[in-house]
Amino acid sequence: MPTRQRKIAIMGFRSVGKSSVTIQFVENHFVDSYDPTIENTFQKNQKINGQDYMLDVVDTAGQDEYSILPQTYFMSIDGYILVYSVNSRKSFDVVKVIYDKLLDMKGNIKVPVILVGNKRDVAEQFPGERAVPEDEAKSLAKEWDVPFMETSAKEHESVKEVFSKIIMAIERVEGNEPEKPSCILS
């Protein structure tokens, strides 16, 4: 099977860990220093369900509720990872705005999206720091009909799974989902 090219945008409010999640996935290490990202694209080969993928991961600049999203974020992107920080209510509110803008720009089609709550390690270490209950995020993901995960880029927790899930969401939307084995009763 030929390698499939997929372009994924990672989007969210500033300092939620978009670059940390991306670099942890691509280079397997945590970047502790924070330099605001303008925009970077990373490449990684990944095998998922026996299929080889060449992933272009677009690590976007942090968005806020007033950001005008560039047309390039809609033209060539196959799927979107929307990241908020579990210890920031504002970042959770901003991903809702980003999601609405994506739907507006993409039109009435099903948009491959995964909702990701990052910095789970902070919420576990300092429970009083959690600003977004996991159940609330799960409800939002259910309302949107998209996968949801919490991650810790710092602890390398569930980072690889995020990218596997967005690839599977893209494949489903494109009609390439592997057939589930059928059960025949006789």
| Local structure of residue 118 (DSSP, 8 states) | E
pLDDT at position 60? 85
Q: Report, as ranges of residue numbers, the positions in the chain whose pLDDT lies below 50.
A: 179-182, 186
Tell me the one-letter amino acid at 166: I
Q: What are phi and psi of 132, to 5 degrees?
A: -125, 105
Give me 94's structure tokens: 């901003």
Domain range annotation of the chain: 4-173
Residue 108, pLDDT score:
60
DSSP string, 42-105: EEEEEEETTEEEEEEEEEEPP--TTPPPPTHHHHS--EEEEEEETT-HHHHHHHHHHHHHHHHH
| The pLDDT of residue 106 | 78
- Please check whether residue 19 is in contact with residue 38, taking contact to mean a CB–CB distance below 8 angstroms: no
pLDDT of 182: 46
Pick from 149, 77, 156, 61: which is nearest to 111 by CA?
A: 77
Phi-psi region of 84 (alpha: psi -120 to 50; beta: other; left: phi over 0): beta
pLDDT of residue 38: 75
Q: Would you say 25 and 159 are in contact if contact means Cβ atoms under 8 Å apart?
A: yes
- CATH of the structural domain 4-173, one choice from 3.40.50.300, 1.20.1440.230, 2.30.110.10, 3.20.20.220: 3.40.50.300
Q: What is the per-residue pLDDT for 10? A: 95
3-class DSSP state for residue 133? coil
Q: Tell me which DSSP letter residue 1 carries.
A: -
**Tokens coding 64:** 């806020």
Q: What per-residue confidence (pLDDT) applies to 80?
A: 95
- The pair phi, psi for residue 151, each rounded to 5°, is -135, 170
